[in-house]
Amino acid sequence: MTLSAMLLWMLLAPLVGAVAIAVSPRHLAKHIGLASSLVVLFLSIVFAVQFPAWTTGAFVPDTNVFPDGVVSLTGVTFTLGVDSVSLLLILLTTFLTPLALWGSYTAIEGREREFYGWFLTLLSAMLLAFMARDVIAFYVGYEFTIVPMLFLIAIFGGDDRKYASLKFFVFTFVGSVITLAALVYVASKSAEATKVWDFSLSALQAHAKTLSPKEQFWVFVALMVGFCVKVPFFPVHTWLPLAHTQAPTAGSVILAGTLLKLGTYGVYRIALPMAPNAAVETVGFLAILCVIAVVAISLVCCAQTDMKKLVAYSSVAHMGVCMLGMLSLNPLGMNGSILYMINHGLSTGALFLCIGFMYERYHTKDMDQLSGLAKVMPIWAFFVVFFTMTSVGLPGLNGFVSEFLCLMGAFAATTHTDSGFPGLLGPKWMIVAGVGSLIFGAVYMLYMVGRVVWGPLKAPGHGDDHGHGAVAAVGHAGGHGAGQGAASGAGSSSTTAAGPKHDDSAAGGHGHRLPTDLSAREIAILAPLAVICLVIGIHPYPLLDVITPSTKATLAGYPEAVRDFDATRESRGELATAPALPADAPTTPAATDASTALGSNLGVIAR
């Protein structure tokens, strides 16, 4: 099978699975859904093994699937192609999806065909966005992800699912329409110049650079509006915590793991290469939003009592660090940003799975009602502590590598760097973001672990027995957000519990009996995530080696753009810097000297 055919089948297999689910008996829906997602995972692995451009930054196969079709006559093509970065995000998507679906086996008991069918449709849409080399094809995948996630939240969500789904739709849809307007504008200007409509990403990026500075500025702003909502940036982040809190566990895993990455991927793949001169003008403003997200949202996290909402808010803070690395405009920060996308998807997705597994047993995420769960769920406690450590950036785990690179990229992003990639940030940005991420992040995550995992045993159905005697046997039935009951009885740690329909609702169903601690299925879901987090933390260089060629291609126009921007500011007297001095004149501040020295070694550090 050719590489083009494999990409096409990766898109079609989930849709075939969704159709099969629709015509199959209800009890087969979850098995068909899992099998379909595993087929896509297998295809993506085979494609990755055969991929010839891991270290070149090239797009492969980058060919139109329908070269002689009617679609191409309109200027819209169905061109599929991936480079190393998009392929890594595809692998992340195809890896997380079967884990999320398998994790829903006992959580989803009603309307199963709808759940697994919409989930496979969502998978196909996300993959199309990562594969597309035509902006219309990209937009179709990017925008269509809204529909399945809307129904997953609206049907399978908690008590506030309708409001959460509506807010999710309004924010993401409105932002995406503005982004589409910018893309169509660039295509129309290109058509005026060439007399041919061409929506290919490479053609539009090339033509966008010929637009006037004012046009480039507004095109970049319009592109960023949609992408910033999806990331999400402060202050358009308010839809995310609500969507996470109300979504079923699998929905939260994919929302954090890959759906948010469509926003960062859009910035990386479309916005930054399309208008570098406009980007450097807005870097300062965007960096301020990133720092606010890191610091202010971290403080918001400290005030949360709902475990899922705390992790949801933490995603906003994490993505602030991720985008700050991207805005450093050097390979060090950009490599860290791409790696951050992957690591955040693994760590935060795993935390949502852990919270979901706990919720199936106790039907609460309120930290005021939970304490000392390590006494009855020691395996679960191990995974929660482990993934918390990955989230806070413990050295030796995956989170540390990407966070360090993002912060060091911001630190080295000065105009006087010797790296060849001057930037517009510097040490002060790294210090503020580091305080918010490393210190505040550790505070609220470890506070959550301390309250829920350690201390005297307290949980619905347990009473105040401090770990001696009763363990919970929890039942669940009824309508959305209702019918959650608990009954306690004497027994040992082998006592079982009946799980709910899903996270925050129960649309009928038969119920499943779960062991007090994690089952073999649940351990098998979390274990590969833990192994990958550990491997990346210990040996990240293979990933960095394949990411670097792509990031350097994205940054190709930025050294000149930054220098031009600095020259313009100096001519206006806006840049309070001394005239250029000989290289041996040590007159720069110590912090700038340090960042310059670090910047001169970007290639070594970022590999």
Q: How do the domains of the chain map onto residue ranges?
A: 298-573
Residues in the chain: 607
pTM comes to 0.87
Report whether 432 contacts 291 (CB < 8 A): yes
β pairing state of 512-515 and 496-499: antiparallel
Write out pLDDT tens, residues 454-480: 989 988 876 544 433 334 434 333 333
Q: Find, among 233, 410, 390, the residue nearest to 320 by Cα.
A: 233
**CA separation for the pair 429, 327 (Å, rounded):** 11
Which phi and psi (to 5°) does residue 99 adopt? -65, -40
What angle in degrees, to the nearest 10, is found between the helix axes of 135-144 and 161-194? 170
Q: Find, among 397, 401, 406, 412, the residue nearest to 436 by Cα.
A: 406
pLDDT value of residue 420? 73
pLDDT value of residue 67? 57
What would the DSSP string read from start to end of 434-467? HIIIIIIHHHHHHHHHHHHTSSS-BBTTTBS-TT
3-class secondary-structure state, position 424: coil
451 Cβ contact list (under 8 Å, min separation 6): 367, 370, 371
Q: Which residues of 179-211 are buried (b: 16+ CB within 10 A; e: fewer)?
A: bbebbebbbebbeeeeeeebbbbebbbebbeeb
Which phi and psi (to 5°) does residue 306 adopt? -90, 120
pLDDT value of residue 548? 93
Write out pLDDT tens, residues 369-391: 999 999 999 999 999 999 999 99
Low-confidence ranges of the chain (pLDDT < 50): 69-70, 464-510, 577-607
The count of other CB atoms within 10 Å of the CB of residue 173 is: 15
pLDDT value of residue 21? 96
Tokens found for residue 134: 């035509």
pLDDT value of residue 477? 33
Q: Find, among 468, 422, 378, 349, the residue nearest to 569 by Cα.
A: 422
Per DSSP, what are the bridge partners of residue 60? 82
3-class secondary-structure state, position 371: strand
